[in-house]
Amino acid sequence: PDLIRPADALPTVQRLLQAASTPVEDAAGALRVSASIGIAYFPQDGAPGPDALLQRADEAMYAAKHGGRNRYAEWPPDEATRSNTSLAGSAGANSQP
């Protein structure tokens, strides 16, 4: 509710991706994981219900997975992504190594 514009969420998303990609050490060695995050904003035109909002975030998550490891994608897709993939969501150039 504190977002003025969608881009205000991106620092939090980037911190989540960084936290997920930080290796965890244990007796067996380092455990490395990555995350794919799908973002859908509310409210949107047509005021989708909770199920539709979750579906949009899920579609964006699969677009992020399609783009590579440790990425996020936003719904709705932008034109460049729509032409590159059949998945909904804007695959970000915002990946972490």
The structure's pTM equals: 0.70
Q: Please give the pLDDT value at position 78.
A: 63
- Which string of DSSP letters, residue by residue, matches 11-62? HHHHHHHHHHHS-EEETTEEE----EEEEE-SS-TT---HHHHHHHHHHHHH
Average pLDDT, the chain: 79
| The token pair that represents 65 in the structure block | 């997975």
pLDDT in tens, 66-82: 999 899 999 986 643 43
pLDDT in tens, 9-56: 999 999 999 999 999 998 889 999 999 999 998 876 677 788 999 999
Helix (H) or strand (E) holding 75: strand 71-75
Whether 65 and 73 have beta carbons less than 8 Å apart is answered as: no
- Find all residues with CB under 8 Å of 53, minimum gap 6, and list them: 40, 42, 44
Mean pLDDT along residues 82-92: 35
Q: Please give the pLDDT value at position 96.
A: 38
